[in-house]
Amino acid sequence: MDISKITDQLYIAAHPKAENANAIRDMNVRLILNMIFIRPADVYRNPPFRMLTLRTFDSIFLPIPIGKLVRGVKAALPVIEGGESILVYCRAGRHRSVAMAAAVLIGQGNSADEAMQLISLKRSKADPYAWHIQRRIRKFEEVWRRDN
């Protein structure tokens, strides 16, 4: 199971398999943010889980839309404030999910630098400093601070 605990209520993963559903449920995960085009296993589209699919590309030519990061954060914050957890995943749990998790941390009041440092510390395969990912994290911070 390729899942990393970033905070008590925020997890990053590679595309989760159906057989991991019980373990993910036991982590009190109630919202799953899917950052890829591949459909999740059916078990993740049923209660107690809620799935929000925010299809993005991991490409320097197609940056992650800031609007998708905002949408994910606005869905995640009430879940976290309610005492439940969220899981963010992409294909490898290295870039797109990391950008979204950093955005959630920024939405909770962290700086982009704090978010990237924490994620790097808690998930060794995460690469928030990849040029195309770091740019989106910093842009999200700018937009979020301006609008919220």
Sketch out the chain's domains with CATH numbers: 3-147 (3.90.190.10)
Q: How far apart are the first and last CA of the chain?
A: 35
Give the contacts of 125 (CB within 8 A, at least 6 positions apart). Answer: 92, 93, 94
pTM, rounded to two decimals = 0.96
Listed in sequence order, the DSSP H helices in 38-130 are: 66-81, 96-107, 112-122
The per-residue pLDDT for 68 is 98
Mean pLDDT, consecutive 10-residue stretches, the chain (148 aa), reads: 96 96 97 94 92 95 97 99 98 97 99 99 98 98 97
| Per-residue pLDDT at 39 | 86
Q: Give pLDDT, residue 1.
A: 77
Instruction: Give the model's pLDDT for residue 112.
Output: 99
Q: Which residues contact 74 (CB under 8 A, 6 or more apart)?
A: 107
Residue type, 53: T
